């Protein structure tokens, strides 16, 4: 048995939407005793479900660095799933990186954002700084620069059906999104690979996006086709879209981020045609129409 076949793999944020899917993808590849799930509340329902599947569950709180040293004991490879707490993420990620270095972890994979080094997305700044912190740490690392999740737009389907309109500010920008599960499978592939940080087939930076792309007008048309109800795309200015999101009850920072992301998408920030994601997972990425269908069934 090769050495890598005995590595223990740790997933941070394992109770979140992406983390849950990464654990599922790892368990499809590996024995459960090789997988360790980190979360803020390991004694909750999510922790109990994973424990029942034979996965070790440990407390790992980005905001409590003292939990990380014990969490990372005996770990060979770590997936750092980026925090959802915008504005606090850099400090949280640096705490994880410091603990990983102290624990002697052999590889850190990090979920960044598509073309983080040049992206006009406002959320790219914290990712760039985290990537820099990883480079400074000296830890072997792989950067998973995830594109947009199709679910980000599918979440608007109920409102679009109710209003007969999908609102946005992306203009004619094309969005090469993929399903969250596709990105989770990519993370699992990297984390469990024999040589994830080296070789021509496994570069240290992966620019990940869906095989296909669409405008929001095309996305609205797909919703209308499947739901058999009229849904049109209504393109707004960034400011007007932010106001609409605020009116829908979103917190100001979230509304600002989503509106700015759409505006950046209009300038190509969410488009990529390199197909690195499908190569990494060994199959085509999930078409947007499939994600729309799943959302309509709920």
- What pLDDT score was predicted for residue 87? 84
DSSP state at residue 196: T
- Res 17 pLDDT > 80: yes
Mean pLDDT of the chain: 93
- Delimit the domains of the chain by residue range: 3-146, 148-179+209-272+282-298
Q: Give the distance between the most distant pair of CA atoms in the chain.
A: 59
In CATH terms, are 3-146 and 148-179+209-272+282-298 the same topology?
no
Give 20's contacts (C-beta < 8 A, 6+ positions apart): 14, 46
Top-tier CATH class for 3-146 = alpha beta
- Res 2 pLDDT > 50: no
- CATH number, domain 148-179+209-272+282-298: 3.90.25.10
- Where residue 251 falls (left for φ over 0; alpha for ψ -120 to 50; beta otherwise) is beta
- What pLDDT score was predicted for residue 203? 45
Distances (CA, A) of 56 to 9, 43, 280: 10, 12, 27
Distance (Å, whole) CA 53 – CA 117: 38
Encode pLDDT of 96-131 as tens digits.
999 999 999 999 999 999 999 999 999 999 999 999
Distance (Å, whole) CA 210 – CA 189: 17
Handedness of CA 283, 288, 293, 294 (dihedral sign): positive
Encode pLDDT of 273-287 as tens digits.
999 999 999 999 999
Encode pLDDT of 60-104 as tens digits.
999 999 999 999 999 999 999 999 888 899 999 999 999 999 999
Q: Kindly indicate the confidence band of residue 181, based on its pLDDT and cuts at 50, 70 and 90.
A: very high
- Res 3 pLDDT > 60: no
């Amino acid at each position: 048995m090769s050495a890598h076949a005995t590595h223990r793999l740790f997933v941070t944020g394992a109770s979140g939407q992406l983390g849950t899917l990464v654990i599922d993808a790892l368990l499809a590849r590996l024995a459960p005793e090789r997988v360790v799930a980190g979360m803020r509340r390991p004694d909750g329902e999510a922790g109990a479900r994973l424990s029942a599947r034979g996965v070790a569950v440990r407390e790992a709180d980005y905001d409590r660095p003292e939990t990380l040293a014990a969490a990372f004991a005996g770990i060979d490879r770590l997936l750092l799933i980026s925090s959802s707490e915008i504005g606090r993420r850099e400090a949280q990620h640096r705490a994880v990186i410091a603990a990983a270095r102290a624990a002697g972890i052999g590889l850190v994979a990090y979920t960044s954002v598509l073309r983080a080094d040049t992206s006009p997305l406002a959320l790219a700044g914290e990712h760039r700084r985290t990537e820099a912190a990883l480079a400074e740490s000296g830890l072997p690392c792989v950067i998973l620069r995830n594109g947009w999740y199709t679910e980000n737009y599918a979440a608007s389907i109920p409102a679009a059906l109710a209003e007969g309109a999908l609102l946005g500010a992306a203009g004619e920008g094309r969005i090469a999104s993929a399903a969250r599960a596709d990105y989770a499978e990519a993370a699992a592939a990297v984390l469990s690979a024999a040589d994830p940080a080296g070789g021509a087939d496994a570069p240290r930076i992966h620019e990940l996006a869906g095989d296909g792309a669409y405008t929001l007008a095309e996305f609205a048309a797909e919703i209308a086709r499947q739901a058999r109800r009229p849904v049109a795309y209504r393109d707004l200015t960034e400011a007007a879209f932010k106001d609409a999101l605020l009116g829908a009850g979103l917190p100001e920072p979230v509304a600002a981020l989503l509106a700015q992301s759409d505006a950046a998408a209009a300038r190509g920030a969410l488009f990529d045609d390199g197909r690195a994601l499908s190569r990494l997972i060994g199959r085509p990425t999930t078409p947007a129409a499939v994600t729309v269908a799943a959302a309509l069934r709920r």
